[in-house]
Amino acid sequence: MKDIFPHKHLAIVIIIIVASVFLLSKCVQSKQEEKKIIKNLKGQEYAGTESCRNCHQAIYDSFSATRHHHESEPASEENIKGSFSKNKNILYLDSSRKVIMEKRAGGLYQVAYINGKEERAERFDITIGTGKHGQTYLYWNYYNELYQLPMSYSANTDYWGNSPGYPNDKISFDRLIEARCLECHTTFAKQDLYFGFDRNQIIYGIDCERCHGPAANHVEFHTAHTGEKQGKFIINPASQSREISLDVCAVCHSGIMQSKTNAFSFMPGDTLSRHFYKNPKAIDSVTLDVHANQYGLLTASKCFRMSATMTCNSCHNTHVKENGNLTAYAQKCMNCHNQSNHTFCTLQPTQGFSLEANCINCHMPVKNSKNIIMSSLPELVRTHRIGIYPEATKKWRPLTN
């Protein structure tokens, strides 16, 4: 009998090839979708901090432990500092109103109750802060807008408290988070036409590209030119002028500034004054808080004014977790203030008191915040105005007989 499909084997092969190409294209498309492409307002593409690991392993590993890296993150049971344990997860505003931190099927929630009846529940979606001083939390609404949850974590009390600035007699879920807020708590967040954000276009934490600029071109170039030792298409603040280097820190550590341009317009290597009106409260220690003008306080210090090279990085190594190591900071003070330069502390050491270990406690003391107050207890913040504080010295240095 004559074969009515003389080329059936060829047809089968063609079908297999077409199917294979289709499946392969789907796989490639899936991989491309996995790699989110995020660009800043100038169209410069971010590479993602993970891409830094290949060439900068040691710096990547040490930086991953810093507070900057964990400044903002998707909320999880592991990174929320406040407790969800029974009797440790309730904040009573009065006899009729309370907020309970609850684990539910859809995640972790702050739930408001009035007279025992549930009034509102919103989920922990984003953590802000690592918890050294405290930690606050954001939630997404239906329109991709971000709002602050009413309860925050206070390190002073190791407990829950009203979010800073919230009334003690009201449970509020209505504080809108604007792009300027995220500008200091994330590396980048793409804003929509109104007040919302693209949830897939956020780079959490203050990461490598926040201080060095979008690095996709840098990574692409050095992947292709492995022998090139000079960094291309990247900003190194340490090699910039003093002003440019300071501005990288000052964009977030100058307190509340009035913007001239859209949020996230300022990039490393740029001049801050092109984008902001500088905070006039340069040396305002009275209202010192975590949003205070640390840049202004530093630049008002005699140490800074007498130096031609001092910057934030003179004392801070942003690649290393060094917060709380006052001895390490004191050693940096003594790079300039030492016996051979005749600029060492004029006080005499006393028993049990080391001058070398107390530079920071005496000359940059911890003060009560006037703005950040939770549960009627102010947060403690270290001033960045280097100076002589007699009361602080009395506190730390025992009186001689």
Q: How many CB atoms lie within 10 A of CB 401?
A: 5
Write the pLDDT tens digit of every residue in 286-301.
566 667 788 988 998 9
Q: For residue 109, is pLDDT > 60? A: yes
Write the pLDDT tens digit of every residue in 58-71.
999 999 999 999 99
Write the pLDDT tens digit of every residue in 94-103.
999 999 999 9
Write the pLDDT tens digit of every residue in 158-168.
999 999 888 88
Domain extents in the chain: 74-178, 237-401
In angstroms and rounded to an integer, the radius of gyration of the C-alpha atoms of the chain is: 27
Evaluate whether 213 touches 235 at the Cβ level (below 8 Å). Answer: yes
Residue the block writes with tokens 């956020």: 202
Write the pLDDT tens digit of every residue in 240-278.
999 999 999 999 998 888 999 999 999 999 999 999 998
Tokens of 39: 């660009």
Closest CA to 44 of 209, 184, 254: 209
End-to-end CA distance of the chain: 122
Write the pLDDT tens digit of every residue in 21-36.
555 555 544 444 456 8
pTM value? Answer: 0.86
Q: What are phi and psi of 197, to 5 degrees?
A: -135, 155
